[in-house]
């Protein structure tokens, strides 16, 4: 309450209300993805933290920095074990890089500065600061704070490693450079493109990437497919895999009789950039070692996609997207089965950013889209989300309406956890019986998405053809504020 009161006195801090903690933590992730700077959440004791943990997991896996402030009982009260008491450190540690319990009003300023420094380093970290009530309401010492801690900078890769990678590239053997995190955008991506142009190496990404700058004019990156069979086929001819801020590709799940590691037997894996290192600097060093600083990268040409007509299916949906996406929009993708294999059709769209779920916990897209829209008020955000996933954190719509955020939420309504049907088959569990299917289908009752949008103040429209889907997306960009498109499949 004192923290809330203090917000009123600090115009430099913007506060946004969310109706569920998972929306707040996901929005902080979305903010970081676009700003490369952490946001802070304010959560209520252990259970409030618990409600935010799934999207903290996703943010941690995306290397997004975040400061979670957890309100806690005052020290004098804790020993009586009142109802809301729990082991907050215990709940926070598995998904935090740094956890501290503030001990007095005198030191809380320094604690908060350290939390912000931890979250702001490279890679971003999850910093959790537990704030007991009495720490808020006690009088603070007026003594000046120690110099605030400094965030960790990106490290330089070693020269020997650069020399080794240059030798691999000069060999001319088939090589895939897998880019991730900060290497899939900006100057790092452009320089990776020069390395590819100067050698015969290909550029690739994991199936999920924190944020990719893609579309016309950007250096294109090929995406390793999700399914194990397609992924191993994609990778089988590479003699070398070079990793940049990531590890070698692994399957999302294990399956009976399928491999966990996706590379071919005999493929050699070389780390070029570790996750705490500087990709742009590494590519600069590599270009020098290759004597290729003047190389021009290949960039993606613009592909004018005609507006598709007729039935909605993964291809026509991707074509409608390619035709509709405005320049510099942001696409947050949690479409799972609907969008999974067809996003390559949007490679030649106008330049845009693509954001994926790095932690695999569903319910990430609507909060992350909310945070991305807060971070970039002049850019339209398209949030592609399956109906099952959307129901996890649907409260995001309310914050989007409240803040008049430019988010177009696209619900792929197949009335089913379609991904589970695919995984069911993958797992070798046979054909799902009636009862198993009843745990996978969500068509009874069918969710009324227009009513859902209306309930939280978001205008909605349902589409049943590719051309009406395209039109709805274009229309959504004409007015500020959120809207929801139900894509009936």
Residues 188-217 that bind its own copies (CB under 8 A): 208
Considering only residues 26, 30, 38, 48, which one is a binding residue for its own copies as defined by CB under 8 A?
48
Q: Compose the 344-373 pattern: x for residues touching its own copies by CB under 8 A, - for all others.
A: -------------xxxxx-x----------
- Binding status of residue 288 toward its own copies by CB under 8 A: no
Considering only residues 291, 293, 438, 480, which one is a binding residue for its own copies as defined by CB under 8 A?
438
Considering only residues 446, 464, 479, 480, which one is a binding residue for its own copies as defined by CB under 8 A?
446
Taking the least distance from each CB to its own copies, the nearer of 15 and 200 is 15
Q: Compose the 301-340 pattern: x for residues touching its own copies by CB under 8 A, - for all others.
A: ----------------------------------------
Shortest Cβ 363–its own copies spacing (Å): 8
Taking the least distance from each CB to its own copies, the nearer of 265 and 304 is 265
Considering only residues 150, 170, 172, 260, which one is a binding residue for its own copies as defined by CB under 8 A?
260
Taking the least distance from each CB to its own copies, the nearer of 92 and 324 is 92
Site size for its own copies (CB under 8 A): 93
- Binding status of residue 266 toward its own copies by CB under 8 A: no
- Binding status of residue 442 toward its own copies by CB under 8 A: yes
Residues 55/363, Cβ–Cβ less than 8 Å:
yes
Taking the least distance from each CB to its own copies, the nearer of 57 and 182 is 57
- 117-176: contacts with its own copies (CB under 8 A): 133-134, 137
Site stretch for its own copies (CB under 8 A), options 98-106, 229-237, 376-384, 435-443? 435-443
Q: Compose the 392-411 pattern: x for residues touching its own copies by CB under 8 A, - for all others.
A: x-xx--x--xx---------
Site stretch for its own copies (CB under 8 A), options 109-117, 180-188, 268-276, 425-433? 425-433
Shortest Cβ 415–its own copies spacing (Å): 12
- 63-82: contacts with its own copies (CB under 8 A): 73-74, 76-77, 80-82
């Amino acid at each position: 309450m004192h923290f809330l009161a203090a917000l009123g006195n600090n115009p430099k801090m913007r506060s946004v209300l969310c109706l569920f903690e998972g929306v707040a933590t996901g929005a902080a992730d979305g903010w970081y993805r676009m700003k490369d700077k952490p946001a802070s959440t304010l959560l209520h004791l252990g259970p409030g933290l618990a409600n935010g943990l799934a999207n903290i997991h996703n943010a941690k896996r995306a290397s997004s920095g975040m400061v979670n402030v957890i309100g806690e009982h005052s020290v004098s009260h804790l020993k009586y074990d009142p109802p809301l008491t729990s082991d907050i450190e215990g709940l926070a540690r598995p998904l935090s890089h740094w956890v501290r319990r503030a001990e007095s009003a005198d030191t809380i300023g320094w604690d908060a500065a350290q939390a912000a420094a931890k979250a702001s380093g490279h890679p971003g970290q999850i910093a959790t600061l537990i704030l007991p009530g009495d720490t808020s309401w006690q009088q603070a010492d007026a003594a000046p704070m120690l110099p605030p801690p400094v965030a960790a900078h990106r490290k330089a890769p070693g020269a020997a490693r650069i020399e080794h990678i240059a030798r691999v590239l000069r060999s001319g053997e088939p090589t895939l450079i897998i880019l991730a995190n900060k290497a899939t955008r900006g100057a790092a991506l452009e320089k990776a493109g020069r390395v590819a142009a100067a050698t015969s190496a290909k550029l690739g990404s994991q199936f999920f990437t924190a944020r990719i700058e893609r579309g016309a004019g950007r250096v294109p990156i090929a995406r390793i497919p999700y399914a194990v069979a397609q992924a191993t086929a994609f990778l089988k001819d590479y003699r070398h895999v070079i990793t940049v801020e990531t590890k070698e590709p692994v399957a999302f799940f294990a399956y009976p009789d399928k491999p966990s590691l996706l590379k071919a037997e005999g493929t050699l894996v070389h780390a070029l950039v570790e996750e705490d290192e500087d990709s742009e600097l590494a590519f600069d060093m590599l270009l020098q070692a290759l004597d290729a600083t003047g190389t021009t990268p290949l960039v993606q040409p613009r592909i004018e996609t005609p507006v598709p007509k007729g039935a909605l299916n993964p291809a026509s949906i991707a074509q409608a997207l390619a035709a509709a996406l405005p320049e510099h929009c942001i696409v947050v993708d949690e479409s799972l089965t609907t969008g999974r294999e067809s996003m390559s059709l949007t490679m030649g769209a106008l330049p845009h950013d693509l954001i994926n779920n790095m932690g695999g916990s569903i319910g990430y897209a609507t909060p992350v889209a909310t945070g991305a829209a807060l971070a970039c008020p002049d850019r339209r955000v398209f949030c592609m989300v399956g109906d099952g996933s959307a129901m996890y954190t649907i409260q995001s719509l309310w914050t989007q309406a409240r803040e008049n955020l430019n988010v177009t939420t696209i619900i792929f309504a197949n009335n089913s956890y379609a991904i589970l049907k695919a995984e069911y088959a993958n797992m070798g569990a046979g054909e799902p019986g009636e009862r198993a299917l009843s745990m996978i289908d969500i068509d009874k009752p069918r969710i009324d998405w227009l009513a859902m949008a209306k309930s939280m103040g978001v205008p909605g429209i349902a589409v049943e053809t590719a051309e009406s889907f395209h039109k709805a997306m274009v229309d959504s960009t004409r007015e500020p504020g959120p809207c929801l498109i139900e894509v009936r499949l």
